[in-house]
Amino acid sequence: MKTDRDLNYRLYVQRSDGFTRNPFQRELSFYRMIQAGDTEGVKKRFEVVRKNFFEGKGTLSDDPVRNIIYHFVTAVAVVCRLCVEGGMSHDTAYTLSDIYIQRADKLKDVDKIIELFGEMQLDFAERMRTVKKENVISIHVRKCIDYIYEHLHEDLTLGVLAEYVGLNPSYLSKLFSKETGMSVKTFVTKAKISTAENLLKSSDFSCLDISLALGFSSQSAFISVFRKINGMTPKKYRELHYMDVIEGDKDNEV
């Protein structure tokens, strides 16, 4: 192969310099947050990443501005395709991608392009959240859905949501079911399990970590609900869907 010499040299230099690329699973888990419409998660993750933005990223150009623009184009391409997979209109996703790439192309300052990274990611995440609410009409149910996705780690009950939107619990229950086609409890459960599926497919978080992060009373409760919806345990689901099954998985499942 004509690239072997260059490849081997660069790999040698990277090892000598102690350079380690960001794990693919970590990057994918962040992109899955955008796909899921997890705007709060996207904001928090970006605030952490921007402090040392280039850590774990390869050098695509010796020119600093061109280098970060190449990284930007790569990120937009991945986000765009995952959002289409998640239900966003093909035309909307790709046109939005074009808009952001054109905006990045006009910038000549690295810090401003980094800021555009955050804006782009949040924009796609907010639009994905809207996709999940397309059939919802009332502002109260929309607010409920936003609250649910922002507080998946908490015990989300009808009473909590009714108090948040200022409605009678019985009325909110009927309104929510009418507009979403399912009860509040079912919606919350599906939102948590959907998030768990993404984490199992694209991260190395343990079953226990995921159950705690999503507010389940125990790991066994999480496994029971997951099995009921998917017909298999979280561990089995990961084995079938994870891009590279993690060796030594510590999930204590039967």
Classify the C-alpha dihedral 183-184-186-187 as positive or negative: positive
Residue tagged 């979280």 (tokens): 234
Q: How crowded is residue 190: how many other Cβ atoms within 10 Å of its Cβ?
A: 13
At 190, list the tokens.
């599906």
**Residue 245: what pLDDT?**
38
**Residue 167: what pLDDT?**
94
At 150, list the tokens.
């922002």
**Residue 19: what pLDDT?**
57
Orientation angle between helical segments 184-202 and 169-180, nearest 10 degrees = 60
**Residue 136: what pLDDT?**
65
Orientation angle between helical segments 90-106 and 110-131, nearest 10 degrees = 170
**Residue 250: what pLDDT?**
42
8 A C-beta contact, residue 214 and residue 196: yes
Residue tagged 């919606």 (tokens): 187
pLDDT digits (tens, 9 = 90+) for 23-81: 666 677 778 889 888 888 888 888 888 888 888 777 788 899 999 999 999 999 999 98
Q: Each residue's pLDDT tens digit in the chain (254 positions)? A: 677 777 776 666 667 766 566 666 667 777 888 988 888 888 888 888 888 888 877 778 889 999 999 999 999 999 998 898 888 888 889 999 999 999 999 999 999 999 999 999 999 999 998 887 765 668 888 889 888 988 888 889 999 999 999 999 999 999 999 888 899 999 999 999 988 888 888 778 899 999 998 999 999 999 999 999 999 999 999 888 775 434 334 444 44
**Residue 14: what pLDDT?**
63
**Residue 247: what pLDDT?**
39
Q: What does DSSP assign to residue 22?
A: P
Identify each DSSP E strand in 97-229 by its residue range: none
Orientation angle between helical segments 64-85 and 24-36, nearest 10 degrees = 60
In whole angstroms, give the CA distance from residue 39 to residue 45. Answer: 10
Residue type, 179: E
